[in-house]
Amino acid sequence: MCCLNGGWQAQPVLTRLHRAMELIRRKTLPQGLLGQAIDYTLKRWEALIRFVEDGTLEIDNNLIENAIRPSALGKRNFLFFGHPDAGERSAVIYTLLGNCRRHGVNPFDYLKDLFTRLPAVKITQIKEFTPAAWAKAKEKVFAQAA
């Protein structure tokens, strides 16, 4: 058990919670809301406590929630872009820009290079143009220059 994320502190609490849910479950109707909630939780228990066993995992997904908040807030505004495919196109662009941010890539530099080189690229080379691959390629260029 790793202690990087505080999982060692959560283990006893989770053990007590699991025991309590099993006890309450025996006294609760399965069709009731409480019974359904406990069944839902117990069926997903292994995934719920995985962060305790793997110290690299977070207890929640707040980082992801915060990353997608701008597009989630704009969802209603993007419903009527004027063309049925426009929403999907904007989702692709948001995904690219989000991945740039995730990999520490300047979106302007990335898109400028992408739009300049992409027309001459073969379909088999597309994986080289993801923000992650682009960032690695740029690191190699800087390392060779130094």
Low-confidence ranges of the chain (pLDDT < 50): 1-3
pLDDT at 4: 53
pLDDT at 146: 67
Say if CB 2 and CB 50 are below 8 A apart.
no
pLDDT at 1: 42
For residues 50 and 143, give the distance between their C-alpha atoms in angstroms, rounded to a whole number. Answer: 38
For residues 35 and 24, give the distance between their C-alpha atoms in angstroms, rounded to a whole number. Answer: 8
In the chain, where are the structural domains located? Answer: 7-53, 62-145
pLDDT digits 0-9 by tens, 113-143: 999 998 998 999 988 889 999 999 888 877 7
pLDDT at 7: 64
**Between helices 7-26 and 33-43, what is the axis angle to 10°?**
140
pLDDT at 78: 63
Chain centroid to Cα 7, Å, comes to 20
